[in-house]
């Protein structure tokens, strides 16, 4: 079976199993979504959801966050991985939004990537979740599962994103979220639940792939 043909079959199966997949991060607006996604880097959504209520209560908008005390932000997110750098980036990001974007969170990839702590994956996740943009974002779950299914052999998340985008072309936002949920609950890194897998016939290895 050719790779493109295989990809289209897998795509159809994923869309059937996850008709309306959404992020598990809790947020009320694009500001809260951006902050939550920034905090979720190399951290679980569950952990992020535990710290964001107090953070958003203290800093309910980008204006408040731009004036925040670094030590106070650190204390609010200290249970999140890499909280020191994340606290600095959150405040710098908010200051940039105030200075460069008139207090409005930008709504395009290039502008989002100009903000501190926001790479391509973070920018894409925000655009996928908030605007249902036809983009693919590659986190550890998407990277691992797409490699196990033989959809990509790329070494980096960006290269994997390019390959998956070319293979799937449409419904990239839904497929991103579906692959994340699939990797989180079924195709796990250390103990994949293969007996529950609905695409096991396409799996080529149980190896735990990690991006460079």
pLDDT tens readout for residues 48-85:
999 999 999 999 999 999 999 999 999 999 999 999 99
What tokens does 206 get?
A: 């149980």
User: Catalytic annotation on 173?
Assistant: no
Alpha carbons 63 and 174: distance in angstroms, whole number: 32
The topology (CATH level 3) of 3-21+136-202 is Endonuclease Iii, domain 2 (1.10.1670)
On the question of pLDDT at 108 being above 80, the answer is yes
pTM of the model: 0.95
Alpha carbons 143 and 140: distance in angstroms, whole number: 5
User: Catalytic annotation on 174?
Assistant: no
Within this chain, domains 3-21+136-202 and 30-131 share the same CATH topology: no
Question: So where are the chain's domains?
Answer: 3-21+136-202, 30-131
Q: Using CB atoms within 10 A of its CB, is residue 23 exposed (0-12), middle (13-18) or buried (19+)?
A: buried
Average pLDDT of the chain is 96
Interval 2-51: pLDDT, tens: 889 999 999 999 999 999 999 999 999 999 999 999 999 999 999 999 99
| Options 26, 45, 46, 121, the catalytic residue | 121
Task: Give the per-residue pLDDT at 209.
Answer: 86
* % of the chain beyond a pLDDT of 70: 100
Interval 86-106: pLDDT, tens: 999 999 999 999 999 999 999
- Secondary-structure class of domain 30-131 per CATH: mainly alpha
| Options 139, 166, 171, 206, the catalytic residue | 139
């Amino acid at each position: 079976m050719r790779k493109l043909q295989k990809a289209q079959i897998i795509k159809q199966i994923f869309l059937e199993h996850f008709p309306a997949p959404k992020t598990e991060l809790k947020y009320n607006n694009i500001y809260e979504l951006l902050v939550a996604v920034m905090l979720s880097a190399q951290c679980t959504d569950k952990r992020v959801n535990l710290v964001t209520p107090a953070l958003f209560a203290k800093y309910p908008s980008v204006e408040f966050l731009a004036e925040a005390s670094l030590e106070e932000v650190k204390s609010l997110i200290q249970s999140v991985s890499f909280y020191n750098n994340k606290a600095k980036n959150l405040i710098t990001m908010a200051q940039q939004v105030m200075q460069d974007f008139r207090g409005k969170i930008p709504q395009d990839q290039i502008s989002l990537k100009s903000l501190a702590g926001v790479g391509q994956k973070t920018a894409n996740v925000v655009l996928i979740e908030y605007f249902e943009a036809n983009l693919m974002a590659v986190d550890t779950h998407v990277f691992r599962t797409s490699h196990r299914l033989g959809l990509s052999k790329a070494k980096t998340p960006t290269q994997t994103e390019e390959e998956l985008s070319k293979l799937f072309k449409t419904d990239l936002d839904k497929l991103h979220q579906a692959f994340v949920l699939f990797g989180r609950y079924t195709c796990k890194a250390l103990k994949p639940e293969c007996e529950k897998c609905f695409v096991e016939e396409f799996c080529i290895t149980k190896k735990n792939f990690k991006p460079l």
